[in-house]
Structure 1
Amino acid sequence: MSQLPDRRLLLVHAHPDDETINNGVTMARYVSEGAGVTLITCTLGEEGEVLVPELAHLAADQTDQLGEHRIGELAAAMAELGVTDHRFLGAPGKYRDTGMIYNDEGNADVPPDTRKDSFWQADLLAAANDLVPVIREIRPQVLVTYDQYGNYGHPDHIQAHRVATYAAALAAAASYRKDLGEAWDIPKIYWNAMAESSLRDSLRKLRESGDTTTFEGMDPEGPLGPFVTPDKYLDCVIEAEGFIDRKMNAMKAHATQITVDGPFFALSNNNGNEIWGSEAYRLVKGTAAPGPDGLEHDLFAGL
């Protein structure tokens, strides 16, 4: 076995761009510190909207070439963050983006008709078996993925949570599928989180600036929905402002999905990048090692 870095982080995401939005600063920070950072992306994001008019023909209901295009966007984004080990679950395109609808509550939900090759329809054990050998190969001390709701209800995010959780358990079992590598029990597992206080502060600043359309309908003083995590449930906050430019450049690399005049950059321009420079996590396996403020500021704290 080749020599592994002392610290190893594995992230499991549903589509290209999810990793940058949720963990761009975190990934850039750990790369800069010499840690091993491995990204697994479960689909190519074939069903995404195309925000670049001249590329509209790539959409799923036209030439259906968006997934192939997003492979290039992901590679460009990872180059901005410095991540050299990024892979697709099983193989590029093995699991297709399921797509999503908005339900009556305004949350993301499963479309009424899903394709047989969609990630949502994937056999859980088969998909987990595509991740187990990666876990056993890179032997991460930290795994980052979504919560059981996929943070906002997208079926592929929920499935990524299930696959990552199941694969982590299987990879740790010494008697399970020895052909997939030597057992490895991941010491710490985190779920991505959107900190309530951070989002409310950002929304207030947006509204005070006169912007009433970005994140329209979200009241900074009202209910914010299930994708927001109350601060009391947060275990770790990574604030690496020195890497915010890399995150913003990586977001721009995902050009078909994130528009420069959209909500991500509106928040950045009005907020001095506060919301995107701070990435929050909930620890769901392992022992927390908080600092004086009651929070960890290093995913590897205590290891």
Structure 2
Amino acid sequence: MRDLLEGIEVDGRAPRLLFVHAHPDDETLATGVAIAHHAARGDEVHVLTCTLGEEGEVIPAHLAHLEGAPGDPLAEHRRAELRGAMEVLGVTHHLLGATGPGGAPAYRDSGMAGSAAAGHPRAWAAADLDEAASAVGAVLDAVHPDVVVTYDATGGYGHPDHVRTHEATCRAVARRGGTTPVYAVLTPRSWAVEDRAWLAAHVPPDRGFVVPGEGDPFASSVVPDAVVTHAVVAPSVVAVQHRALYAHETQVVVGDGWYALSNHVVSRLAGREGFARLDVATGRPVTEGAT
């Protein structure tokens, strides 16, 4: 598979990458390997977060009072978690629509599909797409990335905020001529099968975590191997990814080579991430017809 920066030519500066994500922790969960790898190489890495994850489910008991509390105290707590993760990863961070380091974001977490939070006036998933694209476009204009990375059209697993992030990013790039390559995070099916076997062999069976079984469905971002054309394979940065995930204490439990969210389902931290370039006009991988 090819490198994300293959064919990118820059003149007298480091290559510049922009990772666009919906909530704090998404950047490290979905693209932590690529972010850490490119930052360690000396590339200029930027992360754009579209909301502060106000609807997140809090895992630690000592922080449970933050979940769903009036005034969204979880937002500021997750902002601090995000700041810690960005320091570990060594990248530049942007919060969509915020003015200044402590400014409020323009949009709010919409919650999972069907959540009442989708009716909030600032809900990201319900944002006018042209306005959302303009907000993302303002960051594109400020950063001038050589490569943009975000979700596929399903948002990786169907979360409405992830889908809106994908849509707004594709439209923002398309408005600028569509010449900047946009890549979606995708997992080759063979990797997903290997990861489940690894998890079954390595996750302690007595801690209450759930290892997906052979018959369980894969996330929508798991695709035929031929669709995935680019990859970052860098096991050496998994330790950095681990430390960044520890910063997201409210959302993630980190084990030895794996993590779990509030649903207790485990996923592997395998030191590899796959990608495919998107056609920004359609939002679909240019290799989608591959088998």
* Structure-1-length-normalised TM-score: 0.77
**For the residues of structure 2 that align with 1:207 and 1:17, how far apart are their CA atoms?**
25
**For the residues of structure 2 that align with 1:144 and 1:46, how far apart are their CA atoms?**
23
Q: Deviations over 1:67-124 (max 9, x none)?
A: 11111111100111111x2011111332000001xxxxxxxx3425521211011111
- 1:57 matched to which residue of 2? 65
How many residue pairs were aligned? Answer: 257
Task: Pick one of 111, 114, 120 that aligns with 2:115.
Answer: 111
- 1:146 matched to which residue of 2? 151
- 2:132 matched to which residue of 1? 127
2:245 is paired with a residue whose SS is helix
**For the residues of structure 2 that align with 1:228 and 1:215, how far apart are their CA atoms?**
19
Q: What are the equivalent positions in structure 2 for 1:25-174 lying under 5 Å apart?
A: 25-62=33-70, 64-83=72-91, 85-91=92-98, 92-100=104-112, 109-111=113-115, 114-172=119-177
- 1:176 matched to which residue of 2? none
**For the residues of structure 1 that align with 2:138 and 2:185, how far apart are their CA atoms?**
23
- 2:264 matched to which residue of 1? none
1:170 maps to amino acid:
R
- 2:32 matched to which residue of 1? 24
| 8 Å Cα contact 1:50/1:59 also seen in 2 | yes
| 8 Å Cα contact 1:110/1:154 also seen in 2 | no
Q: CA deviation at 1:137?
A: 2.5
Structure 2: which 5+ runs fail to align? Answer: 1-10, 99-103, 261-266, 286-291
2:122 is paired with a residue whose SS is coil
| 8 Å Cα contact 1:195/1:230 also seen in 2 | yes
1:4/1:125 CA distance change after superposition, 3 Å = farther
| 8 Å Cα contact 1:195/1:234 also seen in 2 | yes
Identity %: 35
Task: Pick one of 218, 225, 245 that aligns with 1:224.
Answer: 218
2:270 is paired with a residue whose SS is helix
| 8 Å Cα contact 2:20/2:48 also seen in 1 | yes
1:88 maps to amino acid:
L
Note the aligned Cα RMSD (angstroms).
2.6
Q: CA deviation at 1:63?
A: 5.3
2:173 is paired with a residue whose SS is helix
1:10 maps to amino acid:
L
- 2:277 matched to which residue of 1? 283
- 1:200 matched to which residue of 2? 193
Structure 1: which 5+ runs fail to align? Answer: 101-108, 173-184, 267-272, 289-303
2:110 maps to amino acid:
T
